[in-house]
Structure 1
């Protein structure tokens, strides 16, 4: 079955499961923000992307794309020109096995990669030189890190753990400072936490199988849900990607519906990206990063990096 056919089948099923939500949303006009999409990188042969999962922007404008299917990180210049790649398959120094998320220390330029199957963070210099490995554990077991976000001063690493369903906060040497969360659907609980982002003293975590984003203070308190399960504006089915704009706007990608929605920092739904009366659909937008007046988005199934230039907000 092709990916298009599979998606159509799932969309039909979702429509049946979520019919009441979708029907309830029909009378409401969907606010849309126009967007222009440009493919920055897809590559071919040994430079092609395979199941890319995340993207980050360095202080010098270098783009770092997690090329998960090839167990490496691809480096591109700001215009999408090939600069190189680092990492290879394995469990040795500088190697990766199923990497997912990436975070950059704004202070030093250090690149942190969530090396999920090896239960660690791999750290590299801005040029891709291997620095060290930081084991990530929870309750004495490998924590399967999915994403990592770094405080602006580089003092703390916020890591989402798929195995433990929690957030772990580490120092740059890998020492555990604090943690919160457990499996469940109550506020402060998670069911497969994924993308994680920091802004204005808040920690935002995509709670995939609970179909929501959760916002916390830096100690894991004051849990606030953003979005809920559904098929209408401001709801999710499989949220994955997350980015925060310079003005604090949250952009969240739904890997199932392929739509990116925007929320105020407090959680109010603002608009979806699109035009001509409909939301723009992407092919599995699982990772993204704010860049200037737009977004960089990796489409996992399409194996490419897109730049979304945003028009005026509604």
Structure 2
């Protein structure tokens, strides 16, 4: 093969197109009150971006054998990060989960499509525990799939005899490793289930309705400090509870006025304790304080930096890096928030 490569080298050099001038880097930044700022850093959409600079010999082999087949985001939905900074993205369109490890320049794709028992069909939302085990809800299978950090399958929570899943439509998920609890929303039951780490049901939170502590198609959820935040999608709000399920407050309302929501999808919290809420229909992320006051919003429909089309997932790490799943644009957009740190604020994790 190497002889063939050497023989083809002059032709490959001769036939290669002239290098294109690098595209102008898009710039996007918001200056906020008190010296705070939000800056767009980058977006990514495929396995190839984990290893952007392939060596000369790899490129030479590509001439003979063809370029490698890289995986792309198809219909990404939910996102989180583990203790090593790996970015984990569910992709219902690809029936699997992408793991992007930019620090180690590695990529992995998790799937269970051809399994006769406990096949993963439509991975929806994702969370990790303190050991970086990965928990994925499957809205069609009605189960929660658990994988080791390496991606090795461990078990399915909610798997019944005959292959059916216990949950009607599990979506949002969060893991409290300290208290050994798993929180999962069952959208069609209008409830949040509290499980132990073996999957036994300890408690349910909520019921159908539009009052405090009631839900209408809840979806994503997030643990933030002592609070549990639940996206109450068709009540057009986010509700906050303590860990025992006691209602604390809600943010949002239906409408087209400032601070209203129409299609809330995900929620996360920055180091100052402010809530970021994705609205898929408007293509924006709205930022509220815990009193429900809208501080600012960013985004808008489009394909450029800082613009979204049907955004779905959101995650903010301990360094205030904001990851937004720009679903219809098939990419993840990354922003950096710089604020005034406060030890009293709940960290988003």
Paired position in structure 2 for 1:250: 275
Bigger Rg, structure 1 or 2 = 2
SS at match of 1:209: helix
**2:332 matched to 1:305?**
yes
**1:162 to 1:175, Cα distance in 2 relative to 1, 3 A:** same
Match of 2:156 among 100, 121, 133: 133
Structure 2 segments unaligned to the other structure (5+ residues): 1-31, 49-68, 301-305, 341-349
- Aligned-residue RMSD, C-alpha: 2.7
Paired position in structure 2 for 1:159: 184
The residue correspondences of 1:148-297 to structure 2 (distance < 5 A) are 148-153=173-178, 155-273=180-298, 280-291=306-317, 292-297=319-324
- After TM superposition, give the deviation of residue 258 of structure 1 in Å: 0.7
Question: After superposition, what is the alpha-carbon deviation per residue over 1:109-166, rounded to whole angstroms, capped at 9, x for unaligned?
Answer: 11100011111100001110111110079xx953311010111426111101112011
* C-alpha contact 1:284 1:301 (8 A) present in aligned 2: yes
SS at match of 1:146: strand
Q: Which has the higher contact order (CA 8 A, sep 6+)?
A: 1
For 1:142 and 1:150, locate their aligned partners in 2 and report how far apart those are by CA, in whole Å: 17
Paired position in structure 2 for 1:118: 141
Structure 1 segments unaligned to the other structure (5+ residues): 1-29
**1:108 to 1:222, Cα distance in 2 relative to 1, 3 A:** same
Q: How many pairs were matched up? A: 278
Paired position in structure 1 for 2:39: 35
- After TM superposition, give the deviation of residue 33 of structure 1 in Å: 5.4
TM-score by length of 2: 0.73
TM-score by length of 1: 0.80
* C-alpha contact 1:157 1:171 (8 A) present in aligned 2: yes
- After TM superposition, give the deviation of residue 95 of structure 1 in Å: 3.4
SS at match of 1:47: coil
For 2:172 and 2:299, locate their aligned partners in 1 and report how far apart those are by CA, in whole Å: 27
- After TM superposition, give the deviation of residue 228 of structure 1 in Å: 0.8
Match of 1:104 among 101, 117, 128: 128
SS at match of 2:93: helix
